[in-house]
Amino acid sequence: MKDQRLLHILSREYPTVSQTAAEIINLHAHLSLPKGTEYFFSDIHGEYRAFEHLLNSASGVIRNKIDILFENTMQEADRQALADLIYYPEEHMKRVHEEQLNFDEWFRVTVFRLLEVIKITAEKFTREHMLDNAPADYRNVINELLHFQYDSNTQYYAKTIRSVLDTGMADELIFGMCSMIKNNSINMLHIIGDIFDRGAHPDRVMDELMSFKDVDIQWGNHDIKWIGAACGSTVCVAEVVSAAIKYNNFDLLEDGYGINLRPLSAFAARVYEDDPCTCFVPHLLDANVYDVVDATQAAKMHKAMAIIRFKLEGQLYEKHPEYGMQDRAMLRRVDFSDYSVEIDGKRWALLDRNFPTVDPADPLRLTEEEEELIRVLTASFRHSERLQKHIRYIYAKGSMYKKVNGNLLYHGCVPMTPEGEFAGFTYEGRVYSGRAGMELINGIIKEALFSRRHFDEESPGRDFIWYLWCGPCSPLFGKSKMATFESTFIKDKAVCREEMNPYYAFVEDEKVCFKILREFGMDPMTSHIVNGHVPVKAGESPVKGNGRLFMIDGGISKAYQSKTGIGGYTLIYNSHCLALAEHKPYNAQTKETSPTVHIVQNMSKRVLVEDTDKGTEMRELMESLQELMEQYRSGAMKERYE
């Protein structure tokens, strides 16, 4: 028997036998529908425009539906124009009004075509669900237009269209229909980490994600660093600001999140007045619109923050010997008599010899000005309302891993030893590995975000976020070291090599994928792993372990496209198959690029809602409703008629 308290709660929503029975019937019908389409994206890295296009086009699926419907009745250019309208209705309608000589006729034909696209994209939904995706103001008119018989009732259609035109609401109806198509096309959205860094606008990516109904996020190492900054970790703040300046993301910091960089600018200009800071010139991947900063001044600001970051991370490694990273306190290893550093038994000359804020006798100590600067910057991060809102959303929708519909999702790796066993990290005296390590980290992030302890300098959870960013056994990092110091100050890039965790070689073996799936309580014969983090290089397959693992970081970030040669992958899981869409690099002028789609696994039978996790929840609800109905009928609970 169900918990009586649960039945009482259900009775508030279903107060009579008839209402309870109606919901059971509705759920039964829903279970027999095909499952909705799930989309998996990874490593967006602030590339808002490219990500927006992937969402607007449903990674090419909408164009595919248009071709299925109209290949024999519309020219290629007209089908492309219809796709452009759906993707970017405001931009397209502006052109239509400028170019169309007979707008009324264009509107009549276009509404009919959009109705057909709505029908084919909503074939997996109940009518109620489909209409939930329609704009509230136009729900009734779209519903009426969808369900009339065009051949037998053209007058009704014509009068409805005429009424929309006469009231001046044609554009709004088009916008609503296009929105409905896009909402129909993406049922679930999975983000496999790294929303932040490198690209210009992760803040806009976050706004876009927050507008979707069904989203989950697996944290990436770049996300975790921003979480740390929002929690008040000074070393995370230093790294976030340093990286943002490196990639010329001044608009993001100052306009997007309201981070006050004026104290940093003044400090850098004064301390590095005559220093060209050639090792710190930013990558100009994106132009700033609101906060245009001279490249020379940006280099000085970048150097100022990088030196603070190297000091703070060195302090953290010495404070936490359990991290096993004391050797990464690189400023401690510099010989300031000749400006060299010894690495792996060889001495290397530094490219930069101007360190006015570094005391050779105590190189990790911040100057008083540096301490005040990082204090002010950290306060800006803690008091940025928009940033805090985004970070809370990432926590609410996020976790280290997720199991959904037979897929195991995580960003980085499950760290392994060279012998193929799960490798562990130490936290508060205990070693954690595999699934237990991931679940511990979930708790650490919760403590860092919601406990008042994260304002305390002694918070182990907040400190540990830095380890998650760059620790050798961090499931989010997956490398032997983060060689930022070496890549900045040493000419020979061979010394900058970061060894990948053995995990990345082992997952080519299906048996290792089986081992990982079993570790997380999943059936290895029917489940898959979806992984991001490491860009798949040109010519390399994103499919690993004989089809058990998909590595879907394909280069949506412009910073990686020279290595990947493409514009990212989307993994698409519909009711028929699992498919990988390989995208061309996003072009702001042309926008539309048809992806190359590879089916990686056909389902043995069409997957229905009853076969999904949602279906399991529905069956459990049906059982509870069945018991509630029986209690109504037996008199154990009274129906309410109000």
Torsion angle of C-alpha atoms 40, 43, 44, 47, degrees rounded to 10: -150
Show the CA angle centred on residue 399, arms to residues 395 and 404, nearest 5°: 125
**Phi, psi values for residue 241, rounded to 5°:** -65, -40
- Beta carbons of 278 and 300 less than 8 angstroms apart: no
- CB burial of 569-594 (b: ≥16 within 10 Å; e: otherwise) equals bbbbbbbeebbbbbbbebeeeebbee
- Region 418-432: mean pLDDT is 95
Does the pLDDT of residue 147 top 80, yes or no? no
User: Could you tell me where the beta strands, DSSP code E, fall in 232-345?
Assistant: 334-335, 340-343
Show the CA angle centred on residue 567, arms to residues 562 and 570, nearest 5°: 140
- Beta carbons of 481 and 247 less than 8 angstroms apart: no
- Region 628-634: mean pLDDT is 92
Determine the pLDDT at residue 34.
Answer: 92
Residues 6 or more apart in contact with residue 225 via CB below 8 angstroms? 196, 197, 236, 239, 240, 465, 469
Element (H, E) at 246: helix 234-246
Determine the pLDDT at residue 455.
Answer: 52
| DSSP state letter for 255 | I
Determine the pLDDT at residue 290.
Answer: 55
Separation CA 302–CA 285 (nearest Å) = 16
Closest CA to 68 of 30, 127, 115, 116: 116
Does the pLDDT of residue 374 top 80, yes or no? yes
Element (H, E) at 596: strand 596-602
Determine the pLDDT at residue 289.
Answer: 58
User: Which own/partner pairs from 49-53 qualify as long-range (CB within 8 Å, at least 24 positions apart)?
Assistant: 49/586, 49/588, 50/556, 50/567, 50/568, 50/585, 50/586, 51/205, 51/208, 51/556, 52/204, 52/208, 53/87, 53/586, 53/591
Residue 339 backbone zone (phi > 0: left; psi -120 to 50: alpha; other: beta): left
Q: Dihedral of CA 582/584/587/590: which sign?
A: negative
| Packing angle, helices 103-121 and 154-166, rounded to 10 | 120
As given in the structure block, the two tokens for residue 323 are 């991290």
Separation CA 242–CA 246 (nearest Å) = 6
Show the CA angle centred on residue 21, arms to residues 16 and 22, nearest 5°: 100
- Region 470-476: mean pLDDT is 96
Residue 547 backbone zone (phi > 0: left; psi -120 to 50: alpha; other: beta): left
Determine the pLDDT at residue 481.
Answer: 93
Listed range (132-136, 148-152, 264-268) with the worst mean pLDDT: 148-152
Of 588 and 193, more confident = 193
**Phi, psi values for residue 268, rounded to 5°:** -65, -40
Does the pLDDT of residue 292 top 70, yes or no? no
Residue 247 corresponds to which amino acid? Y
As given in the structure block, the two tokens for residue 205 are 């990516």
Does the pLDDT of residue 152 top 80, yes or no? no
Residues 6 or more apart in contact with residue 133 via CB below 8 angstroms? 122, 125, 179, 180, 183, 184
Residue 494 pLDDT class (50, 70, 90 cuts): confident
Of 244 and 642, more confident = 244
Does the pLDDT of residue 1 top 60, yes or no? no
Determine the pLDDT at residue 150.
Answer: 52
Closest CA to 202 of 58, 384, 386: 386
Radius of gyration of the chain (CA): 28
State the average pLDDT for the chain: 90
Residue 454 pLDDT class (50, 70, 90 cuts): very low
| Packing angle, helices 434-450 and 385-397, rounded to 10 | 150
The model's pLDDT over 506-546, given as tens digits with 9 standing for 90+, comes to 999 999 999 999 999 999 999 999 999 888 887 788 999 99
- Beta carbons of 192 and 409 less than 8 angstroms apart: yes
| Packing angle, helices 103-121 and 89-99, rounded to 10 | 150
Separation CA 547–CA 562 (nearest Å) = 26
- Region 246-252: mean pLDDT is 92
A 10 A CB-CB count for 422 gives: 19
Does the pLDDT of residue 352 top 60, yes or no? yes
Q: What is the DSSP string of 519-534?
A: HTT--TTT-EEEE-SS
What pairs with residue 596 in β-bridges? 582
- Region 620-637: mean pLDDT is 93
Residue 138 pLDDT class (50, 70, 90 cuts): confident
The model's pLDDT over 308-348, given as tens digits with 9 standing for 90+, comes to 999 999 999 999 999 999 999 999 999 999 999 999 889 99
User: Could you tell me where the beta strands, DSSP code E, fall in 56-207?
Assistant: 188-191
Q: pTM higher than 0.85, yes or no?
A: yes
Listed range (159-163, 174-178, 261-265, 628-632) with the worst mean pLDDT: 159-163
For the chain, domain boundaries? 4-31+612-634, 58-183, 221-430+463-489
CA distances from 313 to 319, 329, 513 (A): 10, 7, 34
Residue 584 pLDDT class (50, 70, 90 cuts): confident
